[in-house]
Amino acid sequence: MKKVFLILGAMLLTVVVAVSAVLLMVDPNQFKPVIVQQTKQQAGLDLIIEGDLSWSIYPSIGLSLGKTELRNPEGFSNENLLKIDSINVDISLLPMLSKELVIGDVSMDGAEIYLETLKNGQTNLDFLTKQEAQTDTTQPKVSEVPSAGEEPEGVAEETEQSRAWGGRLAGISITQARLEINNQQTGEHTKLYDVGLSVSEFEANKWTAITFSAKGSSNQQMFSASGQAQLKLSQGLSDYALKDIQLEAAFNDPTTDIASAKVSLDTFEFDKKNRMDFSVEGTAADTDIDLNGSSNLTIDKAISHVVMDELTLGSAFSGAALPRSPLQVDMNASLSFDINKQQLELALEKLALDDITLDGQSEVTLGAVPKVRFSLHSPDVDMDKFLGLNDVKAGSEGQADSVSGENAAGAEQTQTEPDLSVLKTLDIKGDIRIDKLKASNARMQNVNLIVSVNRGVVELSSFESELYDGSIRATAHLDARKTPATYRINKQIKGIKVLPLLKDVAGSDVLEGTGNIDVDVRGHGLTPSGIQKNLTGTVDINFADGAVNGINVAQLIRSNYAKLKGQSVAETNEPQKTDFTALTSTINLKNGVAETSNLHMQSPLLRIQGEGEANYIKQTIDFLINTSLVGTLEGQGGKDINELNNVTIPLRIRGGWSSPKFSIELAEILKQKEAQRLKEKAKEEAERGLKNLLGDKAGDDETKALTDKLFNKLFN
């Protein structure tokens, strides 16, 4: 037995000496031509090895490779497909005798890879496809491949042997690496440069420090990323953990400049809650962003489900594009994402946009067109305060009213249709409930609406609310699939108190009463002038028990009639209002003009019929109101005016909206009054003539009835 060991020892020593002699006596650079030739034969590419090849055998087997370049095929923009300045790796010998693989420092510097696709679809990696095709022809037959569940021979032994081995890595260092992807078909050019990776000494079940950094660009986009962490792997690599994770990135393009986006986690393990903090600082769409947040992050081992509970977000936005600046946004929520289903669920505990708070649920299913479903609630929404409208001075509100003529035309020329193309990429549906809502100073309660956006079509399928002791129901439809967009609106307002509504919305008290309003309008174009010019439809109004303020029709008739008769006009303290029991009209909208021919107003004193139009582009009015007295003015200081009973009195209203002029057409009144006087005189003369003709018979009942009938036909 002793001789056997001596023989085996001698053989092993001989092998070691022989290998050592080869490594020491043979110059590895002699193999360069062979490597270059084989690369040309197998891949059809030129390999240039400018640096030296070197190896070492003790105390470790090492290999060093100097500057090496793999040329691109002809026709590609870059000379090289691959370039490496240097690469070094070594493996310790003695630990291998104890079944321990100890790899020294692995370093690579100046590695560059250039991938390119030409306009004809050819790529500089096509040679790999050819090699795979050739390899496929040499694959084993089906009968030679072990069946499912059958373990190939030797696998069990190899597995057991590999389990007995340990391993350790002194470190990895990659510096100044670069990757470029140029696609001439799509025009996309992506670069990663200054890529660095550092891994400290690695050993199973011990913490290893990892750091990385990279910069890049893609067409007009510039970005960078860096990070560090501690990694621990189990002996069989079946489990691992992370801690002290710090990630940072930056992004820049013509409209966005994210100076810093940071994520940090104290620890990370699968199927456990991991505390995460994040922040973003930068500018996007001319808006400054300062965002901070935290959450408990949980990811399952299958990496199929991501949960972020106790998600808190605090952010400040500022910029001219915002409805108000600065804008504070705070959120408390829980989020879960099913990666397999591409479905995101958000439970919104609180979303605060300054003074506006929301709560509710939302669900997002990702896809070519993301599907969003939501249900939101808010106790109080003041849109005027949110938009800063409460700070607008009253004097500035009328400035736009003066835009007319050439100024209006100039303003119209500068208006462009809004870009609504983003609506084509949305599939959104949900409901919103608001306990109290203030918008344009109108105050509403118990607002409920259902809205959807489906590939360019916006549908307000239901809007219900209480306001000013009445209610409103509305639907709306917007089709943005073509430009200009088309729309239609239907609205029913029932039993509202008109005066407080007008005071709140328009600062006007021109009308009071209880009103019902039905609106049915449609149009195309969403510029301010386009809406005015292209809006068509009808508005039906029906008001009861109210008054038109600012004009006292009876007093106006009285004073003008006094002037007509040459009488002095006495001063009066009567309120400038005209009461009515009913006011109805159908208003037709077309080409920027609101027109009506059936305005009716009734009161114990007056009957009014009106017709005319209001041009809401030029903001002018031209109305003729025919007024008839059906009651008495006794007790109101106007006894003489009763002479005008059953006489139609035309009242003309003309001028701008802000200062219309009221006038009674006296000539028409004179004409009617003279005609009435002539009728009365003719009737008196006819009665006198008949009395002379008939004598005593003129007083008989039968004769009187016949004469009255005759006079009515003649003088009415």
Query: How distant, in Å, are the alpha carbons of 43, 335, 411, 447, 664 from that of 356?
Result: 65, 21, 34, 15, 52
The more confidently predicted of residues 430 and 86 is 430
Instruction: At 129, list the tokens.
Output: 């496809």
Contact 505, 441 (CB under 8 A): yes
447-475 pLDDT, tens digit per residue, is: 999 999 999 999 999 999 999 999 999 99
**pLDDT score recorded for residue 670:** 63
205-223 pLDDT, tens digit per residue, is: 889 999 999 999 998 899 9
**pLDDT score recorded for residue 609:** 93
Q: Above 80 in pLDDT, residue 675?
A: no
The more confidently predicted of residues 522 and 698 is 522
Neighbouring C-beta atoms of residue 534, cutoff 10 Å: 19
**pLDDT score recorded for residue 156:** 46
Instruction: Give 662's contacts (C-beta < 8 A, 6+ positions apart).
Output: 551, 556, 651, 652, 653
Q: Is the dihedral of CA 502, 503, 506, 509 positive or negative?
A: positive
Secondary structure percentages of the chain, helix, strand, coil, to 5? 25, 50, 25
Indicate the residue type of 187.
G
Domain locations along the chain: 13-123+167-202, 678-715
For 133-207, strand residue ranges (E) read 166-183, 188-199, 202-203
**pLDDT score recorded for residue 333:** 94
Over residues 252-259, mean pLDDT: 92
Q: Above 50 in pLDDT, residue 603?
A: yes
Over residues 285-314, mean pLDDT: 94
**pLDDT score recorded for residue 400:** 43
Q: What pTM value is reported for the model? A: 0.69
**C-alpha–C-alpha distance, residues 164 and 98, integer Å:** 10
193-197, 276-280, 656-660: the lowest-pLDDT one: 656-660
End-to-end CA distance of the chain: 153
Over residues 169-195, mean pLDDT: 91
416-429 pLDDT, tens digit per residue, is: 888 888 888 889 99
Query: How distant, in Å, are the alpha carbons of 517, 649, 706 from that of 625?
Result: 21, 8, 38
**pLDDT score recorded for residue 421:** 86
Indicate the residue type of 190.
T
**pLDDT score recorded for residue 704:** 59
Over residues 525-534, mean pLDDT: 89
Residue with tokens 């009161």: 603
**pLDDT score recorded for residue 646:** 64
**pLDDT score recorded for residue 659:** 81
CA 714 from chain centre, in angstroms, equals 75
Instruction: At 150, list the tokens.
Output: 């059958």
Torsion region of 41: left, alpha or beta (phi above 0 gives left; psi -120 to 50 gives alpha):
alpha
Neighbouring C-beta atoms of residue 633, cutoff 10 Å: 19
Q: Above 80 in pLDDT, residue 40?
A: no
The more confidently predicted of residues 594 and 685 is 594
**pLDDT score recorded for residue 143:** 46
Q: Above 50 in pLDDT, residue 654?
A: yes
Q: Above 80 in pLDDT, residue 499?
A: yes
Contact 586, 666 (CB under 8 A): no
2-6, 341-345, 375-379, 622-626: the lowest-pLDDT one: 2-6
- Our separate counts of H helices and E strands in the chain read 12, 35
Q: Above 50 in pLDDT, residue 519?
A: yes
Indicate the residue type of 515.
G
Treating both helix axes as pointing N-terminal to C-terminal, what angle do 32-43 and 126-136 enclose, rounded to 10 degrees?
Answer: 80
pLDDT category at 403 given cuts 50, 70, 90 is very low
Q: Above 50 in pLDDT, residue 356?
A: yes
Q: Above 70 in pLDDT, residue 431?
A: yes
Segment (H or E) for 529: helix 528-534
Contact 473, 463 (CB under 8 A): yes
**pLDDT score recorded for residue 634:** 45
- Burial state string for 336-368 with b = 16 or more CB within 10 A and e = fewer than 16: bbeeeeeebbbbbeebbbeebebbbebbbbeee
**pLDDT score recorded for residue 663:** 81
pLDDT category at 597 given cuts 50, 70, 90 is very high
Query: How distant, in Å, are the alpha carbons of 23, 91, 188, 204 from that of 58?
Result: 11, 9, 49, 25
102-159 pLDDT, tens digit per residue, is: 777 888 899 999 999 999 989 988 876 665 555 555 555 544 444 444 544 544 444 4
pLDDT category at 605 given cuts 50, 70, 90 is confident
Contact 283, 325 (CB under 8 A): no
Over residues 49-64, mean pLDDT: 71
Contact 179, 113 (CB under 8 A): yes
Instruction: At 544, list the tokens.
Output: 């009861």
The more confidently predicted of residues 260 and 151 is 260
Contact 501, 469 (CB under 8 A): no
**pLDDT score recorded for residue 419:** 85
**pLDDT score recorded for residue 88:** 85
**C-alpha–C-alpha distance, residues 648 and 665, integer Å:** 11
Q: Above 90 in pLDDT, residue 229?
A: yes
pLDDT category at 393 given cuts 50, 70, 90 is very low
Query: How distant, in Å, are the alpha carbons of 4, 621, 630, 663 from that of 668?
Result: 144, 21, 19, 12
Q: Above 70 in pLDDT, residue 187?
A: yes
540-595 pLDDT, tens digit per residue, is: 999 999 998 888 877 777 777 677 666 776 777 778 888 899 999 999 999 899 99
**pLDDT score recorded for residue 520:** 97
**C-alpha–C-alpha distance, residues 715 and 681, integer Å:** 10
Over residues 366-390, mean pLDDT: 88
Residue with tokens 């998600």: 311
**Average pLDDT score, the chain:** 81
